[in-house]
Amino acid sequence: MGIIKATNLEKHYPSPDNSAETFAAVNKINLSIRQKEIFGLLGPNGAGKTTTLEMLEGLTSIDKGNVFINEIDVTKQPYEVKKIIGVQLQFNEYFDRLNLSELLILFASLYATSIDPESLLAKVNLEDKIKALPNDLSGGQKQRFSIACALVNNPKILFLDEPTTGLDPQAKRNLWNLAKSLNEEGMTIVLTTHNMEEAEYLCDRIAIMDQGSIIAQDTPQQLILDYAPEPPEIPMQGNIEDVFLALTGHGLRD
């Protein structure tokens, strides 16, 4: 059953070359994301991934089209949507004089709910940092704490925007395990990433975006069979990175 449905979604911005003109950052895309799946949005920088995510979340206005989250119209009832989603952003700033426990209680108060900070931190393997300040955390710990903040309202859907960017391999794997664990508990997860291994490992389905449009959408395995079945060297078939390069022609950081 679909928990997120976007139809003919568009977002336009002034052209950097001519302010009198606009360009489509997101161009008439359609998405249907199933309940309890991990869904990935891939694409080169500027493809429209983050803009799409922000429209799904109700953080950016929608120029044209519709988005329904759990059958709630994002445009008409944005606050109702925010009650059932959690959002982990690429960058976060915190009140640096509050410890992790105090910050979680503060965030929970925004939803008029109460939480057990220690239990929530245990979910992201940070229970031993309950009295720590944000600046005391490593990069991987900060990312896990940002996810804890996104979980204070016990959301049905968790949005992750490039959650492992800049992390070392161990911290990256810890985030993957956390995402898998949350998904196994029944949470729908939507993520953007530049990490092809991450997309292939985590995602049930993937949509690849380029220049504001979705150019392919399927399971990782089917995308590989369709677009990268025979790479020039071993392994015997390609991977999601090969699919991405075949479809967009861009390197990972272009």
d(C-alpha 58, C-alpha 67), whole Å: 9
**Pairing relationship of beta strands 85-88 and 188-192 according to DSSP bridges:** unpaired
**Both 227 and 118 in a single domain?**
no
The distance between the two most distant Cα atoms of the chain, rounded to a whole number of Å, is 56
Residues 126 and 183 in one domain: no
Can you name the residues that pair with 35 across neighbouring β-strands?
none
Same domain, 161 and 236: yes
Which ranges of the chain would DSSP assign to H, the alpha helix? 49-57, 78-82, 100-110, 117-123, 139-150, 169-184, 196-202, 220-227, 240-248
- Would residue 93 count as lying in a domain? yes
Tens-binned pLDDT, residue by residue, of the chain (254 aa): 689 999 999 999 999 888 889 999 999 999 999 999 999 999 999 999 999 999 999 999 999 999 999 999 999 999 999 999 999 876 667 777 899 999 999 999 999 999 999 999 999 999 999 999 999 999 889 889 999 999 999 999 999 999 998 888 888 888 999 999 999 999 999 999 998 899 999 999 999 999 999 999 999 999 999 998 876 565 556 677 777 777 887 654 44
Q: What is the rounded distance in angstroms from the CA atom of residue 218 to the CA atom of residue 201?
A: 14
Does residue 254 lie within any of the structural domains?
Answer: no
**DSSP assignment string, 60-109:** S--SEEEEEETTEETTT-HHHHHTTEEEE-SS----TTS-HHHHHHHHHH
Q: Which residue has the tokens 């119209």?
A: 73
CB-based contact 96:102 (threshold 8 Å): no
Residue for token digits 């704490």? 145
- The residue to which tokens 């995602």 are assigned: 203
pLDDT at 232: 57
* Residues linked to residue 85 through DSSP beta bridges, in sequence order: 157
80 and 47 in one domain? yes
Residues 181 and 58 in one domain: yes
Specify the pLDDT at position 107.
92
d(CA 13, CA 15): 6
- Residue 6 one-letter amino acid: A
User: Is there a single domain that holds both residue 225 and residue 130?
Assistant: no
pLDDT value of position 89: 72
Whole-number pLDDT of residue 236: 53
**pLDDT for position 244:** 76
Final residue before a domain boundary, out of 108, 124, 154 = 154
Q: Are residues 190 and 169 in the same domain?
A: yes
Q: Answer whether residue 23 is part of any domain.
A: yes
- The reply to whether 89 falls in a domain is yes
Assess whether 146 and 167 both reside in one domain: no
Same domain, 77 and 112: no
Do residues 56 and 160 both lie within one domain?
yes
Q: Which pLDDT does position 252 carry in this prediction?
A: 47
User: Do residues 77 and 96 share a domain?
Assistant: no
Boundary residue ending a domain (136, 154, 172): 154
pLDDT at 201: 94
Q: Name the domain count of the chain.
A: 2
Domain boundary among 100, 131, 154: 154
What the block records as the tokens of 22 is 């606009």
Domain shared by 76 and 172, yes or no:
yes
For residue 253, being part of any structural domain is answered with no
pLDDT value, residue 235: 55
Enter the tokens of residue 24.
């489509």
- CA 67-71-75 angle, 5° bins: 40
- Evaluate whether residue 161 is within a structural domain: yes
Residue 57: which domain range?
2-84+155-248
Q: What CATH number is given to the structural domain containing 65?
A: 3.40.50.300
Pairing state between β 22-34 and 188-192? unpaired
